[in-house]
A and B are shown apart, each in its own frame.
Chain A
């Protein structure tokens, strides 16, 4: 009994409650006509789609830059990479990895500039980051129209220039990761093995990175910048490195998301993406200045589970469409909850 209590305290009550809520939704699903196997498949798929965004938050949390509300910047770099890959007509695995490689220089450049900016506003990172995210998304709304893309399936048919709001990757690298070693069972269940493996690989590399000398220094900078400086660490440099890693992961995240989703969404689409990722890592038990790989995996799974199941079950039960409302209420509600309670990190 005591060990159970201890376990609950360690794991964190919010997560236990969410977990049981999720289980309850699965149990309730068949009664309102929602298929459990299809739902499970959805949950895994969405976990894979979104986990990299959640992972992208870790370095900046560790280095004391707070939650990366400006993750949109990385997403924009990813979108540039993805659209360039389409523009160059890259297909299949080459197209997917080509998009990653094409996105990297943008992500590194954006991350470096963004990091320099954040170093100038220490203590206010999260507020500034949010505006950087918003401003960059809006700026790109102009750029998507002006950049000289020519791919005929990407640009507006009637004007002959400017990128469409939604571009299909169907003919290029749709589901390239999802279908790698995919496990099928029945007509509805598909386990996106490749995608999950990619996510786990990225998480593993990040976990190892945090144990290297640089990763250790980064964590120390987040824990106590004065201590780090007295130990000969360049605080600003470590913070910039963390921002660059975060931005690059954000770029990779959107490309993984697109291959699974099947479409590249431009213009206002990246606006809200940081918020769901932040809500996920906070559900996972991270705080504003500490996060672990376990926080990422648990958080991404619980949050995406919740987002998948709540609307489908509740919509079916109530015969209304309020999925978007639920999504926004849940993700922003969680962010408020977590930011107002800066408690210790749970393991």
Chain B
């Protein structure tokens, strides 16, 4: 077979979004019939790389890319995803792009339907042709056979189990005769173990037929199982490109997260904690895209407890669920008293605060003044910043007290603004984040949830935000649960770091633990093994 022939070659690909470099000198080749495992943390540049390969508009709109994409040795310039399709690149997306009300067949051959002419063709042209359903079905059956899976051509997509949707999506791509390269973005994320195994078999079968596959996944053991070669991206650079033979999951995990941070943790040795402040038992949260399944952990009074993990694995669901913003269930106890779930007001009244990851959506009143933003929660929950009028008949806002409060926080947190009356939307991201912190500090919570506190803000502001958290923890003994995608950040400030994968905590580590350990937990390798063991 012509297996050695290079099909796709990426040469010196670089891409920046307005000066923010996301890919730098990326080089790799894909051979005919080869399966490449592409791995990397969130934000490592995988998606951007695939977008370049696929000719997505967003790349051109943001200034294009540098380097060359060659297919069969010839340089190509895709103007749109259609060009990429014509050149033989197929992509199955993480979010299915299927039409729910159509059958498997209709979805697979969509826009490439078999037709036979009707009597109107002479007058109106090909658009009046009639669908040749028998042939469409035959083609579908052939495609499904090529994939080697069990898929009914007549089922509606809306009635399929999620695994079958994934197969339909892939079948649609390989139904094109020209498809030579198939890009699969997290194809197994929604599948069960057995479905994933079937998929992996199907992929091997496809590869044997000469189709090259780029397999993007966080499940490292699957990558090792299915891929011939693994390419590891980290911060936009390829750090490793090696055949999978002899590579262990642990190796890949440490390549993925491999930054060495000099953790400056002088006082760690002296930290000691007594009683538990929060116990979480069997928590589930139905937060779209961040589902929490069965969470168990305890947080001790006075500590900074970090929660990390890859995006979409459920770490954000924890604070949102406990604070009542998304439907949740299970047992949560604060100071030994049960926390009523799904009731934001009661959660706040019990002495918990929350800084949301969705700063502009949930965290701020963008059209209102900073005074309102900071004082509002304290006013509503604790009746602060109100003054009686008409001899105590009514209570109205105490604007002066609100101003004093706001000025205080502007001072402490170094918030850059023109006045406390400025609108929140006029502030920069970092300063908006400080307003969110101030809002949470203003209710003086015993336990503060901070979700992605440094997302989308610049380095200087990051430092200030982390320092503020550190200071409130050390000076006032405020217990903080910090949820963040940035492992480095968690390691720099937390006393313990829990890693979440697929809605469960896979392990709790000391911040000084080996990086590879974190990587393994993040990709769920550790827990997968331990559950298998316990099941016998």
Contact = CB atoms under 8 A, between A and B. Distances in A.
Interface stretch (A90-98, A226-234, A278-286): A226-234
Interface in B346-391: 346-349, 354, 356, 358, 361-368, 372, 376-377, 379-381, 383, 386, 389
Contacts of B445: none
Contacts of B394: 208, 212
A213 B385 CA distance: 9
A216 B379 contact: yes
Contact of B380 (A208, A223, A232, A289): A232
Contacts of B366: 223-224
A224 B368 CA distance: 10
B266 to A, nearest CB: 35
Nearest to B361: A226
Contacts of A289: 367
B474 interface: no
A223 B373 CA distance: 11
Given A211-B396, A224-B366, A227-B362, A232 B354 contact: no
A231 B344 contact: yes
Interface residues of A, number: 20
Contacts of B380: 213, 216-217, 231-233
A269 B361 CA distance: 42
A233 B381 CA distance: 9
Contact of A230 (B362, B386, B395): B362
B426 to A, nearest CB: 12
A229 B367 contact: no
Given A213-B386, A223-B367, A231 B377 contact: yes
A208 B323 contact: no
Given A208-B396, A231-B381, A290 B367 contact: yes
Given A212-B395, A212-B396, A230-B323, A220 B381 contact: no
Contact of B364 (A211, A224, A234): A224
B30 to A, nearest CB: 44
Given A211-B397, A231-B376, A224 B365 contact: yes
B345 interface: yes
A223 B365 contact: yes
Given A211-B397, A232-B344, A220 B376 contact: yes
B325 interface: yes
A140 B307 CA distance: 60
Interface in B378-415: 379-381, 383, 386, 389, 394-397
A214 to B, nearest CB: 9
A220 B368 contact: yes
Given A213-B383, A232-B380, A220 B372 contact: yes
Contacts of A233: 345, 380
B324 to A, nearest CB: 8
Given A208-B394, A208-B396, A220-B368, A230 B354 contact: yes
A226 B344 CA distance: 11
A227 B432 CA distance: 14
Interface in A193-220: 208, 211-213, 216-217, 219-220
A211 B385 CA distance: 11
Contacts of A230: 323, 325, 344, 354, 356, 362-363
Contact of B349 (A208, A212, A219, A232): A232
Given A231-B377, A233-B380, A208 B365 contact: no
A231 B362 CA distance: 9
A208 B390 CA distance: 11
B325 A229 contact: yes
Interface of B: 323, 325, 344-349, 354, 356, 358, 361-368, 372, 376-377, 379-381, 383, 386, 389, 394-397
Interface of A: 208, 211-213, 216-217, 219-220, 223-224, 226-227, 229-234, 289-290
11 contacts: A213-B383, A213-B386, A213-B395, A216-B380, A223-B368, A224-B367, A227-B376, A230-B325, A230-B363, A234-B345, A289-B367
Given A216-B372, A227-B363, A232-B347, 13 more contacts: A208-B389, A212-B396, A213-B380, A213-B395, A224-B364, A224-B365, A227-B365, A227-B376, A230-B362, A231-B376, A231-B380, A232-B380, A289-B367
